Amino acid sequence: MVVWIRSLAVFAAILLAFQSAHARDRDGKYTNSPLHEWFEQLASKKGRCCSDADGRALSDLDWESHDGHYRVQIDGEWVNVPEDAVVTEPNRAGRTMVWPTWLDGHPQILCFMPGSMT
């Protein structure tokens, strides 16, 4: 039973990895991209964004701003973005991005970089 649960967890993790738009360049696909080095050094006050989590591009429907605070939807769950997770440098990618990690099955925000709401 335990082996089956672990196998299911590994499969789910792989499936999620393929569904998200990655900022980290695991397979070298973006090595020659002009933004490669920028993504690699990108950080919030919580730490480097790409060191522990893969970035996801968000559609305008999956994030919002109200009174200077952000909220994002990750895998169907709305999460408040901590102030220290907001990336303060200009967004060279243009798209809104989030770098989630998980704690007890719920998304936590390591980094968030707002884009333009169009």
**DSSP per-residue string spanning 30-90:** TTT-TTHHHHHH-EETTEEHHHH---EE--GGGEEEETTEEEEEETTEEEEPPGGGB--S-
HSE of 37, CA atoms in CB hemisphere, 13 A: 2
pLDDT digits (tens, 9 = 90+) for 65-117: 988 899 999 999 999 999 999 999 999 889 999 999 999 999 999 999 998 65
Residue 36 lies in a domain: yes
Which residue range is the domain that position 37 belongs to? Answer: 22-113
Beta bridge partners of 57: 97
Task: Summarize the confidence of residues 6-35 as an average pLDDT.
Answer: 49
Residue 1 lies in a domain: no
Residue 55 lies in a domain: yes
Q: What is the overall mean pLDDT for the chain?
A: 78
Give the number of domains in the chain.
1
Residue 77 lies in a domain: yes
Confidence of residue 20 (pLDDT cuts 50, 70, 90): very low
Residue 81 lies in a domain: yes
